[in-house]
A and B are shown apart, each in its own frame.
Chain A
Amino acid sequence: MSGGAHEPAAGLKLYHPPMSLWWWLERRAYFKIVVRELTSLFVGAFAVVTLLQIRAVGDGPEPYAAFAAMLGSPAFITFSVVAFLAVLFHALTWFPLVPTTIVLRVGEQRVPGNIIAGAHFAGWLIVSVVVAYILLRG
């Protein structure tokens, strides 16, 4: 019965299925998304490293040299590789989702999702090429 508020019929013995702690392992899609959410920790970590690096530059040549040495250590390189893969995963699984958040219209037709996602990938590629050019030209 309801009127204004909706609630279960009085006197029902409802069964509330328990939610498993491992629910995110039960569907491939859930797992993928939970992993993507976790990879944002690495995105954050990169940002923190960059901030620390800027502070080290500000502190003078010696602290910066020490910082650079730390960046070159095998442990950090391992971390960087893992973090890079995580960020890559994040970007690759995120861009295909972007079209649902953006509605673009040309005339009466909605711009198809793969064009919007494609534009994001293209933008990513262009930025990467520019960065690579700046870093590698010297």
Chain B
Amino acid sequence: MATYSCDLLIVGGGGAGLRASIAAAEARPDLDVAVVSKVYPMRSHTVAAEGGAAAVIKDTDSLEAHAYDTVSGADWLCDQDVVEAFVNEAPREMVQLEHWGCPWSREPDGSVAVRPFGGMKVSRTWFAADKTGFHMLHSLFQTSLKYKSVKRYDEWFVTRLLVDDGRCAGVVAVEIATGEIHSIMAKAVILCTGGCGKIFPFTTNANIKNGDGMALAYRAGAPLKDMEFVQYHPTGLPATGILITEATRAEGGWLVNKDGYRYLQDYALGTPEPKPVHRTMELGPRDRLSQAFIKEQERGRTLEGPYGHYVNLDIRHIGEAVIDKKLPFVRELCLKYANLDPVHEVIPVRPVVHYIMGGVHTDIHGATPIAGLYAAGEVACVSLNGANRLGSNSLTECLVFGARAGLAAAEFVDGAAPAGAAIEAQARDEEQRLRALMAKTDGTERIADLRSEMQSTMEESAGIYRAGDTLAAGGETLGRLRQHARHLKLEDRSSTFNTEFISALELDYMLELAEVILRSAVERTESRGAHQRIDFPARDDDKFLAHSLAYRADDGSARIEYLPVTITQWPPGARVYGKQ
């Protein structure tokens, strides 16, 4: 077991991780910064974000308006001090990315163009056609190559955080190419590993999104916050779950049921107009749109195909010129993966798991309760998104809180004491655990079988609408699956690029997180944002204007506590869409 060391270690090389690495390298060129990622950074799932990134830049807009949209979109479950910091710093971060070369779409005068987005009452979403995440990630990655103090460990998979006496001092990781187990000692660690959409069967998320960082932090003793809040994006392609961006609706697309009727008007989202109207109809928030789909399905007004129920997204009236200019990727995706041309045909869509509002509990600087451990991006829950994230806030979140965590961690490094012998012992323990797992030959359970059963269980019990009994049933199934997962059948005996071994570790992470999601959902006996309980249909501010915090108990089960929401300027109110 080789031991490497650095001052600041960032786990994950997506939008948040790269932003954190650059922030730390710029602020403190004397520090050794390292980025360890299970894929090459430009493969990270930030690459798949399409629609845009929100930040106030136009004179018609205000920070207050962005903050209000975010707070009401979150169904008041966000921390308002966090929201204020976010909207304040968002424009500077976006301009910074512009200076780093991000090819933002432009107005004729050369200024940055913005488009409307769901739940936003002013157009403030910056975009690079409909490949915003791709361009942001590549701009960040290419810019990061400039900093020689940033060392990368590409295709290394982190299996454990080394924590002693309440302080994180490094990680153990498998170098995937060789199968070697290494420890990387660090004075501070930032988790930027993204979300865990692959816990669900039907998701926009890439294969790599297994909640690695959440599970690592949870096992190291950090609480996971608001994990019951899973976002369904209303428009995914039925067969594959491939995302059709909200920007289709921002550019004027309509959601219609089997009769060609814009059904959202029946669900308190306003009255249909031919042109898109902010915070109205198709530009409502994602939770409400996905819930409207289920209601529409119950009324028998959706269509049915080989991959279940769906409605149609109609962008034909936008015209080929606008589609090719502003939505070229949507056209490409439809042609390749749905075999239709949206210029001439409607796009079948249905709600699809897209994002988790919950994550590792952090404060406004990205610090977790474990000293020296930070988190930013989707893996974290800094409490910006509350019960429902607004589209185009998450890319900006990666920048704002990636930078914040990078700076805070760089500062922490100075005071950090060197790691003790206990850390080295932990690293050796972890090595032994991994070696035993690699050597195991008597397993009987296929990874793929357990994974798909976990996924279907989650969809059935923790989908768009939930109930106490289905959540409990799901919990039982998960318990059984976790037992079975101790006897995984590993066929790949090679130490070279053993992806099966990595999949086994990822499954282990996901099963743990699935249970946390269910547990958190069971305890929250109210309906708020993306968490809808049919047995408790009302929002309950008296009891639940609070974040859930899931701690891992010694027996491996989740213990839930609550933490009050921070309110500064916007007392809880009704979420009104469709009329302002």
Contact = CB atoms under 8 A, between A and B. Distances in A.
A2 B178 contact: no
Nearest to B180: A11
A2 B154 contact: yes
Interface stretch (B48-56, B111-119, B144-152, B274-282): B144-152
Contact of A10 (B151, B156, B178): B178
B538 interface: no
B177 A3 contact: no
Contacts of A106: none
Interface string A21-50: 000000000000000000000000000000
B151 A3 contact: yes
Contacts of A2: 151-154
Nearest to B148: A4
Interface residues of B, number: 13
A104 to B, nearest CB: 21
A12 B496 CA distance: 8
A120 to B, nearest CB: 28
A109 B554 CA distance: 66
A14 B34 CA distance: 26
Given A9-B175, A12-B496, A1 B152 contact: yes
Interface in A76-120: none
Nearest to A3: B151
A112 to B, nearest CB: 15
Interface residues of A, number: 10
Interface string B127-158: 00000000000000000000010111110100
A9 B177 contact: yes
From DSSP, what is the main secondary structure of chain A's interface residues?
Answer: loop
A11 B151 contact: no
B420 to A, nearest CB: 26
Contacts of B154: 1-2
Nearest to A10: B178
Given A11-B180, A12-B496, A1 B148 contact: no
A9 B178 contact: yes
Contacts of B34: 3
B11 to A, nearest CB: 15
Contacts of A12: 177-178, 496
A1 B150 contact: no
A5 to B, nearest CB: 10
A11 B148 contact: no
A84 B63 CA distance: 72
A10 B496 CA distance: 12
10 contacts: A1-B152, A1-B175, A2-B151, A2-B153, A3-B150, A4-B148, A9-B177, A9-B178, A11-B178, A12-B178
Given A3-B148, A3-B150, A9-B175, 4 more contacts: A1-B151, A1-B156, A2-B151, A4-B151
